[in-house]
Amino acid sequence: MDARSSRYHEVYARWQRDPQGFWAEAAREIDWFEQPKAVFDAKAGIYGRWFPGGVCNTCFNAVDRHVNAGRGEQAAIIYDSPLAGVKRTITYHRLMTETQVLAAMLRDLGVQKGDRVILYMPMVPEAVIAMLACARIGAIHSVVFGGFAARELATRIDDAKPKVILSASCGLEPGRIVAYKPLLDEAIALAQHKPESCLILQRPQAQAPLVAGRDHDWAAMRDDALVHARSVYECVPVAATDPLYILYTSGTTGRPKGVVRDNGGHMVALKWSMKYLYGVEPGDVYWAASDVGWVVGHSYIVYAPLFHGCTSILYEGKPVGTPDAGAFWRVISEHGCAALFTAPTAFRAIKKEDPQGKLLAQYDLSKFRALFLAGERADPDTVVWAEKLLKVPVIDHWWQTETGWAIAGNPVGLGLLPVKHGSPTVAMPGYDVRIVDDASREVAAGKMGSIVVKLPLPPSCLPTLWQADQRMRESFLDEFPGYYKTADAGYKDEDGYIFVMGRTDDIINVAGHRLSTGGMEEVLAAHPDVAECAVFGVKDALKGEVPCGFIVLKFGVNRPPAEIEKECVALIRDKIGPVAAFKLAIAVARLPKTRSGKILRGTIKKIADGDKWAMPATIDDPVVLDEIGGALKGRGVIGSPA
């Protein structure tokens, strides 16, 4: 790859010279009912608003316009569920009909423009249809990850105050059925706000009793609504600056932070990203292996692929265990997938189960062009493993729930830049990324600092938090005046490549030396027997903090774990130096993670320090924390779960 063959620098410079002209051009890719009166109004909102005066509809741009353009018979959604044993293809025309019908059902339940609707759904087509149906009538959806604890759902009900909740009888996990309806009932009982109605999708794996007067059977109501669907044949016009959805950030306590996404800027930025960042074309099959409950699912399962006229894969399964570590290769091969976007943890799981990648040989991946990784730091060892196995570009990119799309990446559609393992490459147009110290002063290339973005943020980034403007300022804007605080730490090299080394909380201070846990994890992950790892700081009376590392060994490794632990300690000493004071590596069977695959480093640290901690709402399996506590105690690290 040669940087000279990429158009990136030219395009980024064009954005720098004329930000409004750049986004005005991108906005021409969106169908507007009324053109915006301006591209950006610096005096509106907290830091300005994009496309004020514009009138549009997100569902129209995702669905109707493709049907109107004669592409109604193209597949819009491919539903592939190894857990349910079901595959289903939904064309754009069928998707339009289904959104019309569900929009009619919501109208019958009293939902109007501006009302909130909570979705508490598994990975089924009805979840996608529900998001689009809300957008169709101008309602604001808030998707809560299916199976979330009742108390966490209750806090979101009280904050969003939905008129209606859409849910299902159950979700599916490998080897078990997760009953959603009892959790929903408990959440409504706990919440101060009571929704007027609940619409329940009864899945064949488990039926749920309905509460008379409140709950409605989805299938039965759909049959009744078919005759009324034409009442919402047309999409409801909304302002570009009106909210499309609220997405609550995970792991919050007390009142959660509701990230707001608007209609206009969201469409413009996501449509741009599909062509220029991901390098896909209308008609391509695109797969984001995430969940609709997370921001990746919102942006890149549902909205962006449909804005761009792609076919989006909706997968209800796991990277391993449904049935094996070749599950992803089967989906890519069977559906002719051009690009896959998933979390690094998925590939670490595949690498752990099938280190040699032998299962790949069973499948034809000839249409597959690129793999994108995001969600947490992509360690170089996993990236290199995937590059060698797949023989396609493996693109690490970095973004957040708050931004809705990539802050930094390697733009396939503009021509790839040289890869530097450990870096998500460079800032995307719209983002002026700086590295600053605690006094907001920029630091030299190569020096660690806080990663911030100069205001204004580009289209699709959060304009505010739901009904909490002051909290928005306090959380993201006040600490570094004139900048958005990402709460990530890292550095930029002399070529402008960004290295995200972890959350600012993951930078540990060892005897006055600021050290990155991400840098240590890179070293540990390079050990040939290590599948994945997590490094965290433990309180130390002498040095302030000292690092400790958990390692998970690859499947089939038969050497004594203690031997590998010693080698890991030696690796850190060799690669980073004695200054790291890294003396303890602990082999464990698995790491505690959220359902989206992020390692719960903060909780691990609290357990190790003996601090009070609460069970994270997003944890995949709570039992793992007991295992972690036991492993720490067994090695003399003091701390007990609170």
What is the pLDDT at residue 345? 84
Question: In angstroms, rounded to a whole number, what is the distance separating the alpha carbons of residues 433 and 435?
Answer: 7
Residue 310 scores a pLDDT above 60 = yes
What is the pLDDT at residue 254? 55
Residue 253 scores a pLDDT above 50 = no
Contact 556, 528 (CB under 8 A): no
DSSP 480: S
Q: Which residues pair with 164 in a beta bridge?
A: 117, 197
Q: What is the DSSP string of 263-310?
A: SHHHHHHHHHHHHHTS---TT-EEEE-S-TTSHHHIIIIIIHHHHTT-
Contact 77, 123 (CB under 8 A): no
Q: HSE (CB half, 13 Å, CA atoms) of 223? A: 4
Average pLDDT over residues 60-89: 98
pLDDT band at residue 204 using 50, 70 and 90 as cut-offs: very high
Task: Determine the Cα angle at 184 with ends 181 and 186, to 5°.
Answer: 110
What is the pLDDT at residue 639? 53
Average pLDDT over residues 148-165: 92
Residue 12 scores a pLDDT above 50 = yes
| Whether residue 299 sits in one domain with residue 229 | yes
pLDDT band at residue 250 using 50, 70 and 90 as cut-offs: low
Which is nearest to 114 in space by CA: 218, 232, 246?
246
| Whether residue 482 sits in one domain with residue 526 | no
What is the pLDDT at residue 642? 40
Kindly report each contact of residues 12-17 with a partner whose C-beta sits within 8 Å and lies 24 or more positions away, as own/partner.
12/426, 12/427, 12/428, 12/429, 14/429, 15/429, 15/430, 16/432
Contact 486, 452 (CB under 8 A): yes
* More confident of the two residues 612 and 551: 551
Q: HSE (CB half, 13 Å, CA atoms) of 110? A: 9
Tracing tokens 């200054």 back to the chain, one arrives at 579
* More confident of the two residues 260 and 536: 260
What is the pLDDT at residue 506? 66
The answer to whether residue 436 sits within a structural domain is: yes
Residue 252 scores a pLDDT above 50 = no
Average pLDDT over residues 547-562: 93
Q: How many domains does the chain have?
A: 2
Amino acid identity at 396: D
- Express each pLDDT in 28-40 by its tens digit: 999 999 999 999 9
Q: Which residues pair with 510 in a beta bridge?
A: 513, 544
Question: In angstroms, rounded to a whole number, what is the distance separating the alpha carbons of residues 606 and 592?
Answer: 13
The answer to whether residue 372 sits within a structural domain is: no
The answer to whether residue 347 sits within a structural domain is: no
The answer to whether residue 433 sits within a structural domain is: yes
Question: In angstroms, rounded to a whole number, what is the distance separating the alpha carbons of residues 471 and 586?
Answer: 39
Least confident of 125-139, 368-382, 431-445: 368-382
Residue that is last in its domain, among 436, 456, 490: 490
| Whether residue 308 sits in one domain with residue 274 | yes
At 604, which CATH number?
3.30.300.30
Least confident of 28-37, 391-400, 579-588: 579-588
Strands 394-396 and 408-409: unpaired
Average pLDDT over residues 198-205: 98
Q: Which helix (H) or strand (E) holds 244?
A: strand 243-248
What is the pLDDT at residue 612? 86
Least confident of 58-72, 252-266, 277-291: 252-266
| Whether residue 445 sits in one domain with residue 560 | no
| Whether residue 152 sits in one domain with residue 286 | yes
Phi-psi region of 251 (alpha: psi -120 to 50; beta: other; left: phi over 0): left
| Whether residue 484 sits in one domain with residue 527 | no
Residue that is last in its domain, among 431, 460, 490: 490
Amino acid identity at 232: V
Question: In angstroms, rounded to a whole number, what is the distance separating the alpha carbons of residues 209 and 231?
Answer: 30
What is the pLDDT at residue 249? 84
In angstroms, what CA-CA distances link 17 with 4, 11, 86?
20, 10, 51
At 275, which CATH number?
3.40.50.12780
* More confident of the two residues 380 and 44: 44
The answer to whether residue 142 sits within a structural domain is: yes
Residue 66 scores a pLDDT above 90 = yes
The answer to whether residue 340 sits within a structural domain is: no
| Whether residue 23 sits in one domain with residue 162 | yes
Residue that is last in its domain, among 458, 490, 522: 490
DSSP 597: S
What is the pLDDT at residue 641? 41
Least confident of 5-14, 272-281, 398-407, 627-636: 627-636
| Whether residue 455 sits in one domain with residue 583 | no
Residue 640 scores a pLDDT above 60 = no
| Whether residue 530 sits in one domain with residue 600 | yes
Average pLDDT over residues 492-513: 80
Average of per-residue pLDDT values in the chain = 92
What is the pLDDT at residue 2? 54
pLDDT band at residue 228 using 50, 70 and 90 as cut-offs: low
| Whether residue 175 sits in one domain with residue 117 | yes
Which residue range is the domain that position 583 belongs to? 511-634
The answer to whether residue 255 sits within a structural domain is: yes
| Whether residue 572 sits in one domain with residue 425 | no
Contact 397, 373 (CB under 8 A): yes
What is the pLDDT at residue 574? 81
| Whether residue 551 sits in one domain with residue 485 | no
What is the pLDDT at residue 206? 96
pLDDT band at residue 484 using 50, 70 and 90 as cut-offs: very high
Residue 251 scores a pLDDT above 50 = no
What is the pLDDT at residue 466? 97
- Strand, coil or helix: what is 312? strand
Residue 467 scores a pLDDT above 60 = yes
The answer to whether residue 442 sits within a structural domain is: yes
Question: In angstroms, rounded to a whole number, what is the distance separating the alpha carbons of residues 33 and 264?
Answer: 11
